[in-house]
Amino acid sequence: MSNADMQYLNLVQDILDNGYYESENRTGIPTYKIPHQIFRFDLQKEFPILTTKFVAFKTSVKELLWIYRDQSNDVKKLQEEGVHIWDEWMKEDGTIGTAYGYVVKEYKQLDNLIEGLKNNPQNRRHIMSLWQIPFLEGGSLYPCAFMTMWDVTGDKLNCMLVQRSGDVPLGVPFNMTQYAVLVHLIAQVTGLKPGIFTHVINNAHIYENQVEGMKLQLTRRNDAYEAPKLYINPEIKNFYDFTIDDIKLIDYKYHPAIKMEVAI
């Protein structure tokens, strides 16, 4: 079993067994929740993606590139690539407003991070934050996975992702995988090796209408596969030159997708 499956399914079981039943939230769909959950992955040993259900790797990476490479809020750009995960939050102008890629660009966060990692690696202020108070109300949705904190130890690049709200069945597997990719990409363009990736979830929850899907996934625990390998085109040295074709999974084996609803 992959380490990602093990940590993830342990969290799912804990929520189903011990989660606090929250009858009211923004979506109107009750949840079972547990606060302050932490995943930790050594990216030198394994790439974290679930095998007990299919995770749409290319879709997750396309969203990542949309946020950090394109620094875009234009939902139509995603739609042109066959990605429709932001359709429900698209404003009349075709964007998600002042959220995600918008604030990355506004504060030149990606450029500042890469420059800092190259020129002052031991700085303790390597942070990208999508939680920019002046722009929160102008976005379609407050950012969920909203902050990354970066550390250089020796020749390794470590990253902590902080997520205020984690839809464990649908959102968390995406975020876990795509931010692990981000660590690999930034490590490559800064001349470092990917190190420890830590994923902190403030509110880890399963919606009531997702419980049966999670129970099904738990039945696959003993049949989980080994983790795949991540391939990144070694020729790319500029972050903005990465394309979806430069980032691939090798030998990704998985169980079928589990259909569950997104709470809007």
DSSP 55-96: --HHHHHHHHHHHHTS---BHHHHHHTT--TTGGG--TTSB-
Look up residue 227 and give its two tokens. Answer: 């983790």
pLDDT digits (tens, 9 = 90+) for 244-257: 999 999 999 999 99
Q: What confidence score (pLDDT) does residue 31 get?
A: 96
Question: Which one of the listed residues 144, 182, 185, 211 is annotated catalytic?
Answer: 144
Task: Please report, for the chain, the start and end positions of each structural domain, with discontinuous segments joined by +.
Answer: 3-250
Closest CA to 81 of 96, 102, 66: 66
DSSP alpha helix (H) spans, the chain: 3-18, 57-68, 75-80, 101-106, 109-119, 133-136, 171-189, 211-218
Rg for the chain, CA atoms, rounded: 18
In CATH, 3-250 is 3.30.572.10: yes
Q: Could you confirm whether 144 is annotated as catalytic?
A: yes
Q: What confidence score (pLDDT) does residue 24 get?
A: 83
Predicted confidence (pLDDT) at residue 25 exceeds the cutoff of 90: no
Predicted confidence (pLDDT) at residue 50 exceeds the cutoff of 90: yes
Compute the distance between CA of residue 173 and CA of residue 217 in angstroms, rounded to an integer: 13
Predicted confidence (pLDDT) at residue 264 exceeds the cutoff of 70: no
